[in-house]
Structure 1
Amino acid sequence: MASHEVEFRRGEFSLVAAGPGTGKSLFALNLALFGNVPVMYFSADSNAATQLSRATAILTGDNVRDVKRKLLSERFDEYMGYLNKRWWVRLDYDARPSLDDVELRLRAYFEVFGMFPHLIVVDNITNVQGVAPVESAESFTFGLEAMCEYLSDMARVTGAHVLSLHHVTGEHSDGLNPIPLSGLKGKIGRVPNLVLTIHKEIDGMDGRILHVSPVKNREGFEDSSGQTFSSYEFNSTNMRLTDIVSTL
């Protein structure tokens, strides 16, 4: 997203928001694998078999269905060489991690590698224990704001870029139209340095394009309406995203 001056800077916190099934986890996983930096990925929203199959398909270009069949039938050894080359990427699959769990995993990463990861992905923010239950819109927003503050502080302390995935409000949940900053569930756009929203375009033949809008960007271009976006072709066979063109 260089044309829109979007950078995932270390020491800063960002949000990526989209409707369910749009592709926000795939966007984060592609970034984690092709960013060529040390990564800690908290995959609370997807299990190990799903994420391992996706990651292997992204790295090798193989069909994700074939990869998963080999994984489940214990014929996965041929892929270990590819995965070992990404030894600096670590994934945690706790479905409901607490803040203590998150800190423990980061301390363990530091103990093993002698440094904190450069990128920390939280997929997604509402899965982390500490967000208030949805008793009211006010309590939900308050809990999310507090979690954003915590993750922003984590970015400063560790020197990592902390990227968290998040949901959008109901009218944007189908993911078919540009999502503005106001479309974030809980309206929590105050804390992050960077907020991206994602909507999709489907061609009717199992093809998909993901449009990524910089709706908040303290260090570069932003358009809070979501109408300005960079576009990526999504290959459903190997889960890869390929940059197409930036659209004004």
Structure 2
Amino acid sequence: MRARGRVGDPLPCPYTSLERMRAFARRGQISLSAGASGGGKTAFWSNWALNARYDGDYPIPTLYFSSDSDQHTVGIRIAQAVLGCTQDEAEERLEDSWDLFHEATEHTWWDFKVGPTLDHFDAEIETYSLVHGQYPSLIVIDNLMDCDAGYGADEGANQREALLWGSSKARETNAHIAFLHHVTGPNVNGNYPIGKDGLMNKVDKRPRLILTFHQTDPGLLNVSVVKNSTGPARSDGGWFTSIPWLPERSWFGG
């Protein structure tokens, strides 16, 4: 334990109710966040990277791999969150000035390669460390389905190998690596709690923390803790917190 360094230290979190559930994103570990398409995964982690602060002042150094969404889509979502406005308003205001956007996101390094390989992840992480003199504290991989681990059309093998790589890389860099993932069957509607059995290809073994997302009421994103190696969880998704969320403005409450 004395030799562990920063492994296991929790990253700051902008969601106080999730912290009360002891669902921490810890250094040196990987997590998996799963939900329906458009169900809030990207918004949830973008907001985490954007608004979590060390000591209330210092944002988390972040490397965000966005193979699932292009520059325009992500840029507008982030601009909405920063400016607190609709998509049309964000596009109009960005035409006048990018200063506020750059100031809010300068701690985040973005990569938009489609179908990234594990070698690409390695190269980008090392490049980040060379430029910044340190590894990122948070690495987001959006999403697991797009990772190419060299197993061709075998989707499950690609995903399991990517998670194995992530476990090793998290320990090597002391970063927390958050993988975003899809769900299967009736869970794709995203309107009731999703358990571990709803994960695409049942890739629940390696992550130390698994969160799933669903919505039952407008204005709220329900986040279930279905696996938690250092805290309570319910594998059926029945233990969750409801976080205020206005997707049309990319806004989250605490």
TM-score (ref. length: structure 1)? 0.88
Aligned partners of 1:148 and 1:76: how far apart in 2? 42
Residue 149 of structure 1 pairs with residue 164 of structure 2: yes
For residue 29 of structure 2, what is the amino acid of its counterpart?
E
Change (3 A) 1:142 1:100: closer
**What residue in structure 2 maps to residue 246 of structure 1?**
none
The residue number in structure 1 matching 2:63 is 40
Q: Does 1:110 align with 2:129?
A: yes
| Alpha carbons of structure 1 residues 173 and 85: separation in structure 2 relative to 1, 3 Å | closer
| Percent of aligned pairs with the same amino acid | 30
Matched, 1:209 2:220: yes
Between the aligned partners of 2:150 and 2:88, the Cα distance in structure 1 is 35
Aligned partner of residue 222 in structure 2, secondary structure = strand
Following superposition, the deviation at residue 235 of structure 1 comes to: 1.3
Q: Cα distance 1:200–1:68, how it changes in 2: closer, same or farther (>3 A)?
A: same
**C-alpha separation in 2, matches of 1:227 and 1:81:** 39
The aligned amino acid for 1:176 is N
The structure 2 residue matched to 1:160, chosen from 175, 190, 199, is 175
Q: Give the aligned CA root-mean-square deviation in angstroms.
A: 1.6
Could you tell me how far 1:109 is from its partner in structure 2? 0.9
Moved more, 172-181 or 62-71: 62-71
Deviation at 1:156, TM superposition (A): 0.6
Change beyond 3 A, Cα 1:65–1:197: same
SS in 2 for 1:190: coil
Amino acid at match of 1:189: D
Preserved CA contact (<8 Å) 1:124 1:164: yes
The DSSP-based 3-state class of the residue aligned with 1:2 is helix
1:220 counterpart letter in structure 2: G
Listed as ranges, the gaps of 5+ residues in structure 2 are: 1-17, 53-58
Q: Unpaired segments of 5 or more residues in structure 1? A: 244-248
For 1:112, the aligned partner's letter is: V
Q: How many residues align?
A: 231
Partner of 1:232: 243
**In the alignment, is the contact (CA less than 8 A) between 1:8 and 1:161 conserved in 2?**
yes
SS at match of 2:46: helix
TM-score, L = length of structure 2? 0.86
For 1:169 and 1:131, how far apart are their aligned partners in 2?
23
- C-alpha displacement at 1:64, in angstroms? 2.6
Where do 1:1-248 residues align within 5 Å?
1-35=18-52, 36-71=59-94, 75-77=95-97, 79-130=98-149, 132-134=151-153, 139-202=154-217, 207-243=218-254
